[in-house]
Amino acid sequence: MPNHQNRTVLDPGRKPPAGSSKIGPADPNESLEVTLLLRRRQELPATDRFGRIAGYPLTREEFAARFGSDAETVAAVRKFASEFNLRVVSEAPGSRTVKLSGTVDAFRNAFEVELTRYQHPSGIFRCRENALTLPSAISGLVEAVLGLDNRPQARTHFRIRKDLRGKVMPRVVTGGYDPTQVAKLYDFPALDGSGQSIGILELGGGYNESDLTSFFSALKLATPSVSAISVDGAKNSPTGDPSGPDGEVELDIEVAGSIAPKAKIGVYFAPNTDQGFLDALTQAVHDSTLKPSVISISWGGPESTWTAQSKNAFESVCQDAATMGVTVLAASGDGGASDGESSGTLAVDFPASSPHVTGCGGTKLTGSGSTISGEQVWNELSNQEGATGGGVSEFFPLPIWQQGAGVPAAPNSKTGRGVPDVAGNADPETGYRVFVDGSATVIGGTSAVAPLWAGLIALINQSRKQPIGFLNPLIYTQAAEASFHDITTGNNGSYDAGKGWDACTGLGSPDGTKLLQALGG
């Protein structure tokens, strides 16, 4: 019989989703699939001041051999699964993941968790409320157990432009910029992304080939190579609603693709759960077929809505990405300094707050041709059109490369990681002309900034002929101030812009050519 003694708490209990009501216990015979993230074969070595390790960057094969999970760890998990009537669905030692399937009752015994069904306006979900524990046989071998709880985890960070009456305009052909015009204002290098691959994570919706053809034809560009990659059974599934997740998916593809039209784009579709989000990131980071050198994320949520194990697991996989030369970018959110929290409490968005992710904030950009006439913090809260997220993490400590940036204390009075790191045009009033679900529209939000930067990183990697990889230490310690347009006007509700780094727009918006030069292009 399994030994229920000598257990270790991996993750404390979770609160049920706000606005939900309890239905009752989960069906003990319900079958589910759970992802385990395992420890590395050995700890990652110390990095230099640019966040690099010896032999940087490693190939995915080299990483798997040096830092994937060892056979003993996988065998211990396999034995644990057998003892608790769980089945091993898949093993991927290189990416440190094992997937197990079984009934609710079997997982309840294995991890001593109670799973409860809750009714929420958006559906019925299985939630974990009490602590998750590990038996001594696998304690210390497992970093995260995700999939027991399947509540929606993240939200999109895009805003559709509104009309004078405050109504969103999902189908409009006037206003905004083509993404290529924004690139010209930011002086992106005259490259096309040849030889590069960009990964985009999506947690819902989809794209239509006809939309992409219409969009790129209007820009007189060939449609990039775009492939839909299924994660945990999710697929490219357009809903026909441009104000829903389709707006996110097509915005991401069209912005990144217009900046780097010759790059290959892989869109990783996953369920909107913490398990789906992590599995999508893991698959993109370790994808030995597409081999993306930059990953764009436009989904997230306040740090407090994530479990500690989810945040730690995500950061752990982003550390893996750094060793393989993969840059990870994430939108900093569209709810201002509170990240949309109804209480108004200051909060930063995750995964943008993860130290090995480059957080992307938003500005309001005005200009013509190659001349910027003005740029300030994006803040349209008074018009119910959002504002750039930004602030200080209460979970992640201040990274060494950010210690000279003047990051203020976190709301809990501790020193924390400052968000965002960089910025770009995001105000829906100066947004991006894109094509979604059969019609042209103008979309803004920090969702647009992550793929904008992803396109720029692809151009930088093309010029350098090798990936730049973990960006944050480089831009704080190596890139000159001239590489950025310092945004000194505006606020995001609680934090003011100012000279140098600030909790609204980070170091500022890019001067693409100067940034390329600073990073060795």
Distance CA 398, CA 94 (A): 30
The DSSP letter of residue 464 is H
Does the active-site annotation cover 370? Answer: no
3-state secondary structure of 459: helix
Residues whose CB is less than 8 angstroms from the CB of residue 253 and which lie 6 or more positions away in sequence, other chains included: 200, 207, 212, 224, 226, 265, 267, 451
Does the active-site annotation cover 279? Answer: no
Tell me the angle at which helices 60-67 and 308-323 cross, rounded to the nearest 10 degrees: 120
The DSSP letter of residue 413 is S
Reading phi first (left if > 0) and then psi (alpha if -120 to 50, else beta), residue 435 is in beta
Q: Residue 131: phi, psi to the nearest 5?
A: -65, 150
**Per annotation, catalytic residue among 258, 296, 447, 509:** 447
Distance CA 44, CA 53 (A): 8
Q: Identify the bridge partners of residue 293 per DSSP, sorted by sequence position.
A: none
Contact between residue 250 and residue 434 where contact means Cβ atoms under 8 Å apart? yes
Does the active-site annotation cover 274? Answer: no
Residue carrying structure tokens 């000194």: 488
Length of the chain: 521
3-state secondary structure of 251: helix
Q: Tokens standing for 55? A: 């032999």
Q: Are strands 299-302 and 155-156 parallel, antiparallel or unpaired?
A: antiparallel
The enclosing H or E element of 279 equals helix 274-285
Contact between residue 108 and residue 32 where contact means Cβ atoms under 8 Å apart? no
Contact between residue 444 and residue 427 where contact means Cβ atoms under 8 Å apart? yes
Q: Tokens standing for 79? A: 């034995």
Q: Tokens standing for 515? A: 């940034």
Q: Residue 443: phi, psi to the nearest 5?
A: -125, 140
Distances (CA, A) of 74 to 83, 99, 103, 282, 401: 14, 11, 21, 17, 35
Work out the number of other CB atoms within 10 angstroms of the CB of residue 312.
19
Q: How many Cα atoms within 13 Å fall on the side-chain side of residue 425? A: 27
**Per annotation, catalytic residue among 248, 250, 274, 394:** 248
Distance CA 40, CA 455 (A): 31
Distance CA 251, CA 297 (A): 12
**Per annotation, catalytic residue among 252, 320, 375, 437:** 252
| Buried-state track 456-477, b at ≥16 Cβ within 10 A, e below 16 | bbbbbbbbeeebbbbbbbbbbe
Q: Which residues have a catalytic role annotated? A: 248, 252, 447
